[in-house]
Amino acid sequence: MGDDFGGGGDFGDFGNGGDDGSPDDQNNDDQNNGDQDDQDDQGGDDPDGDGQDGQDQDGGGDNGGNGDGDEDNLDDMFASGDDLPPVDDDVFASAADFPNSHATDFQDDGGDWASEDYQQSAQNLFGDHPFFGDTLTQQKIDEGFQPYEDNRFDQAFDQIAPGTSDTVQLFEREGKLVAFGVVSQAALELLMARYTGIDWQNLDVAVPQKGDAVPPQPLPPAFANVAEQDAVDLRKYATPVGDQGQTGRCSAFAWTHAAEMSRNILNPGSNEASPRLSPNFTMLEFQRMQGDARDYQYAYAGGDGTIGGPDPGEVLVEYGTCRQELWPDDRATPLTREEQLEADAQRYRLEGVPLPIAIDDVKKVLSAGCPVHVSMNTGAAFSDVGRDGRFNAAEAPSGRHGRHAMLIVGYVGNFFTLKNSWGTDWGDQGFCYVPKNVLAASDPEFVAVLLKKPA
């Protein structure tokens, strides 16, 4: 087979020139020019030119449990089990609900489990999944793709960004090369410019580390005294999985999903579930808090990501975020004026307390019926997740490709259930199951969303 796949462009002859110098827009998101001709009020309410409508956010607040005296306030706020949110019993399961399991599957891995232990436990717990054992390669073969292997591409990719060949896989279909996997935003831009004949629009992106890690805090009594369940699944309270596209909005999606889930948990029996909220407006607020806000398009693109810790969550506690119908996921600009976005956001504030926690407290928070935001290093394990959603327990994310944020919504034994924002075609309909040892090795940062039972 030749290098010209149906005239689809230049494959770059592996580092020896030949670039046509004018790559097509293959992102489909059209971050810079799309759908803006009808939006004429982007900066009219911005008196200081910082993209902020005169409402500078410092991300402070007193909701995160990190300031002086806040620990005592949290202990009073969450003093007993009577303060915990009202979740349904069917979100919890016991070992008896997994007929193929063994007692050891539900013993916490304190660091002594080998990859073989995880493989056996996965077989016991997930073996009846219709796609158990699936990989990205098998999924793409079933979709009509064929793996395309050429070491020259691997070598050239690694010259552009070291380690790229670990997380990018090439497939051929109908005479065209298509890339799947995960890379940093910077690497994606270089690859797209260098190899214009490859379809890059199916790659997912990670963001760089931003800000300093925030030390975990102790849980207040109501959560510290929770008995850990064998399994928890809060997905019945989740809104549909979103798709951030090739942008750096992962944390904005995860925090927005947390706000939606929290509303559904705290309003049981409500006639109306939480509406879909806008990760775009959430991202704009985060950038204002961080001091790097520019304009609507920069918020849509995600910039260089979001800081860790509780501050982003505290922004949503104080300001909220608007409904998605006012600023949809796939639009670079909102559909209405900013004062309307802000007024709407006040109706949908995060009804919880963001608290940085340690990995050994994650199960307690989930067993209390609350979600947990996590940011973690990416790596090869991210790029080979099949339709069973399982990460490979033998691979710890390296971090050389950046970080990614998701929302933890449950666990089974030593496998945590995470809601992603890469669309429903990824993983198990948008969810994945990450072994505790992989999570622990990924330099994770956890922020619990502590929910209090309504008065």
**Per-residue model confidence (pLDDT) at position 398:** 82
C-alpha–C-alpha distance, residues 196 and 4, integer Å = 11
pLDDT, one tens digit per residue, over 415-426 is 999 999 999 999
Measured over the CA atoms of residue 19, residue 21, residue 22 and residue 25, the dihedral's sign is positive
Domain housing 107 = 70-130+210-450
Q: Are residues 328 and 346 in the same domain?
A: yes
Structure tokens at 106: 């539900």
- At 219, the pLDDT band (50, 70, 90 cuts) reads very high
425: left (phi over 0), alpha (psi -120 to 50) or beta: alpha
3-class secondary-structure state, position 126:
helix
- CA Rg value for the chain: 22
Query: What average pLDDT does the segment 238-243 reach?
Result: 97
Domain for residue 445, yes or no? Answer: yes
C-alpha–C-alpha distance, residues 415 and 43, integer Å = 46
Query: What average pLDDT does the segment 242-267 reach?
Result: 97
Q: Of 44 and 173, which is predicted with more confidence?
A: 173
DSSP 52-84: STT----S--S-SS-STTHHHHHHHHT-SGGGS
**Per-residue model confidence (pLDDT) at position 11:** 47
**Per-residue model confidence (pLDDT) at position 1:** 40
Measured over the CA atoms of residue 54, residue 57, residue 61 and residue 64, the dihedral's sign is positive
Domains held by the chain: number: 2
Least confident window among 46-50, 411-415, 436-440 = 46-50
- At 394, the pLDDT band (50, 70, 90 cuts) reads confident
Q: Are residues 75 and 195 in the same domain?
A: no
Q: Are residues 370 and 282 in the same domain?
A: yes
Q: Are residues 262 and 304 in the same domain?
A: yes
Least confident window among 67-71, 150-154, 391-395 = 67-71
C-alpha–C-alpha distance, residues 207 and 205, integer Å = 7
Least confident window among 4-18, 58-72, 178-192, 419-433 = 4-18
Q: Are residues 273 and 379 in the same domain?
A: yes
Query: What average pLDDT does the segment 244-269 reach?
Result: 95
Domain for residue 349, yes or no? Answer: yes
Most distant pair of Cα atoms in the chain: their distance: 70
**Per-residue model confidence (pLDDT) at position 272:** 66
Structure tokens at 105: 């599957």
Q: Are residues 195 and 249 in the same domain?
A: no
Q: Are residues 184 and 236 in the same domain?
A: no
Mean pLDDT of the chain: 87
**Per-residue model confidence (pLDDT) at position 401:** 84
* Element containing residue 279 per DSSP (H, E): helix 279-290
For the chain, percent of residues with pLDDT exceeding 70: 84
Residue with tokens 């309909």: 429
Least confident window among 29-43, 224-238, 385-399 = 29-43
Least confident window among 40-54, 282-296, 339-353 = 40-54
Residue from 259, 216, 279, 229 nearest 371 by CA: 259
Structure tokens at 346: 């006040």
- Residue 119: partners with Cβ closer than 8 Å, 6 or more residues away: 393
pLDDT, one tens digit per residue, over 123-138 is 999 999 999 999 999 9
**Per-residue model confidence (pLDDT) at position 430:** 98
Angle at 61 between CA 60 and CA 62, to 5 degrees: 125
Q: Are residues 187 and 248 in the same domain?
A: no
Domain CATH for 375: 3.90.70.10
Q: Are residues 230 and 357 in the same domain?
A: yes
**Per-residue model confidence (pLDDT) at position 17:** 39
**Per-residue model confidence (pLDDT) at position 384:** 92
Domain for residue 135, yes or no? Answer: no
The residue from 202, 222, 241 where one domain ends is: 202
pLDDT, one tens digit per residue, over 26-85 is 333 343 333 433 443 444 444 333 444 445 555 444 433 444 456 679 999 999 999 999
Q: Are strands 204-206 and 198-199 parallel, antiparallel or unpaired?
A: unpaired
Residue with tokens 């976005």: 341
Residue with tokens 């902020």: 52
